Structure 1
Amino acid sequence: MSRLNGNRALVESGQAKVNVAILGAGRIAHTMADTLNRMASDPRYASWIHPYAVAARDLDRAQAFADQWHLDKAYGSYEELTADPDVDLVYIATPHSLHAEQAELCMRAGKNVLVEKSFTANTEQARAMLAVAEETGMLCTEAIWTRYMPSRALINGVIASGEIGEVKAASANLCYPVSDKARMTDPECAGGALLDVGVYPLNFLDMAIGADHGRTIDHFETSMSPWPQTGVDAHNSTTLYYDDGTMAVSVSSMLVTSDRGGYVWGTEGYLVVTNINNPEAIDVYDNDHKLVRRIEVPAQLTGYEYEVADAASALLDGSIECEAMPHADTLRIMELMDAIRDRWGMKFPFEK
């Protein structure tokens, strides 16, 4: 058990902070390290969040990372990191295919985990991870930042208010030219557009018109265009049909650039979200396409601070999941992505 699990009083008294460690030292790990440094200097977080350690498979690389971001400790193996009794929360920043074994390693060593999206490569791995969380009492939550951001409540507030009437359809897309990254085209790394970028439009739709509003998916249609050398999805499109007849389209690609827009269409107007991957503004239009108002999203440090704060707060309450991304939500999205891949006939080598 982590030294702080369920011990909010110790932190609130100023006797301790939540020590956050990073497992992995790649690009996204640097973004998290920057976030933790900013949190440590921000009055909202400085009293209880501490950037503590990093682990990589090479000690020199880990030490260079720790020096750059002023971390207390650097470890040349993940096992050494999990053996440190002062680590409270581990952010897992490695490829999807490694998340399950690394999260289990951490939880069985008494460490809470914040696991970068996609949570795992498939639902089977996700269920196994969450079973370990139940067994050990460790927090295990998915780090899909849009679920934790204030923009979620702002978007849902517009829809729930009836300002755009009865919602009947929606669309979301996220496309980046990232096929030059080896992991993106490698089936052994659970590559392809869906798990890396496609998870965002699916989550956007789940929040904006799906489960957050009581709808469930009745059925879907989907297609993809494969990466020629390895067969993972390069482009994909999925049309979701909900139980009340509402329809939504999710598009993602690792070959092109898209507008990253989220669109929710109602009988009295529609809303446009600028950048579903990190919402910048929400524009509300009437039926004459007149801009009624623009809702600005609150200023942020990097956007990662919300998931860190929620995870730290949950572990201090002794919870094994975060309210913003409970296990049921993670499993629902993983099951949907499994079903989409199954329709394509696309399995990763470790699944066969």
Structure 2
Amino acid sequence: GDVKLVKAYFGSPQLDIPRSVQKELGGGALLDIGVYCLQFVLMVFNGERPESIQATGVLLDSGVDESVVVTMKFSRKRMALCAFSIAARLPNDAVIEGTKGSIKVLGPMHCPTKLVVNDKETEYPLPEPCLPLNFTNCAGLRYEAGEVRQCLLK
């Protein structure tokens, strides 16, 4: 079917991490984790630029954004909603709603291990890491790193 609405949520309490909250270190929810939500939406809409964007959020005393909600309107009456926060834990999932059903991306949405398509769940196990990892499911980023390597070798 046709995609009508995309929702992406990513929130992780990080107020105790200096690089997340200090402006001079590039802190803020958008730069740290919001980009994953926005990238997901643009991937679903095949890179199309939205017709309009509305965003609202709250700032920390340091001047960086703590929590943000973004709505985007695309052509053909399609919408996207993103919410991200470095102060609160959010579902960290994404949903693509269409005229013939939905796709839920679980586990977290930026590095998923499960898809639920019209209520049918499929699991995609990650490779076992050879070293301890800093973030949930980041072993899945090895595929991204491998693709970058292949592009550099060309």
SS at 2:57's partner residue? strand
Q: Does 1:257 align with 2:89?
A: yes
| Match of residue 113 from structure 2 | 280
1:12-43 Cα offsets, whole Å, 9 max, x none, are: xxxxxxxxxxxxxxxxxxxxxxxxxxxxxxxx
The question of 1:299 aligning with 2:126 is answered yes
Measure the CA separation in 2 of the matches of 1:307 and 1:267: 31
Quick check: which one's helix share is greater? Answer: 1
Structure 1 residue 210: Cα displacement: 4.1
Question: How far is the alpha carbon of 1:166 from its aligned partner?
Answer: 1.6
Q: Which residue of 2 aligns with 1:186?
A: 22
Is structure 2 residue 1 aligned with structure 1 residue 168? Answer: no
Residues matched between the structures, number: 143
- Deviation (angstroms), 1:244: 2.2
Q: CA deviation at 1:295?
A: 2.5
Tell me the TM-score normalised to structure 1 length: 0.39
Equivalent in the alignment of 1:225: 58
Unaligned 5+ segments in structure 2 are 129-138
SS of match in other structure, 1:217: coil
Q: Which runs of 4+ in 1 moved over 6 A?
A: none
- Residues in 2 aligned to 1:216 and 1:297: alpha-carbon distance in whole angstroms: 30
Residue 298 of structure 1 deviates from its aligned partner by: 4.6
- 1:147 maps to none
Gaps of 5+ in 1: 1-164, 286-290, 318-352
Partners of 1:210 and 1:216 within 8 A in 2: no
Inter-partner Cα distance in structure 2 for 1:310 and 1:222: 33
2:135 aligned partner:
none
Partner of 2:136: none
1:267 to 77, 99, 110: 99
- Identical amino acids, percent of aligned pairs: 28
Q: Where is the strand percentage greater, Structure 1 or Structure 2?
A: 2
d(CA) in 1 for partners of 2:57, 2:140: 30
Instruction: Tell me how far 1:305 sits from its aligned partner.
Output: 1.4
| Conservation of the 8 A alpha-carbon contact between 2:8 and 2:93 | yes
Could you tell me which residue of structure 2 aligns to residue 314 of structure 1?
A: 151
Quick one: which amino acid aligns to residue 54 of structure 2? Answer: E
Equivalent residue for 1:216? 49
CA distance in 1, matches of 2:150, 2:45: 28
Instruction: Look at both structures and tell me which one has the larger radius of gyration over its CA atoms.
Output: 1
Following superposition, the deviation at residue 182 of structure 1 comes to: 0.8
Distance, in Å, in 2 between the alignment partners of 1:238 and 1:245 is 17
> CA separation of 1:168/1:253 partners in 2, compared to 1, >3 Å: closer, same or farther?
same
* Counterpart residue type for residue 315 of structure 1: L
User: Are the counterparts in 2 of residues 217 and 241 from structure 1 also a CA contact under 8 Å?
Assistant: yes
Partner amino acid, structure 2, of 1:296: E
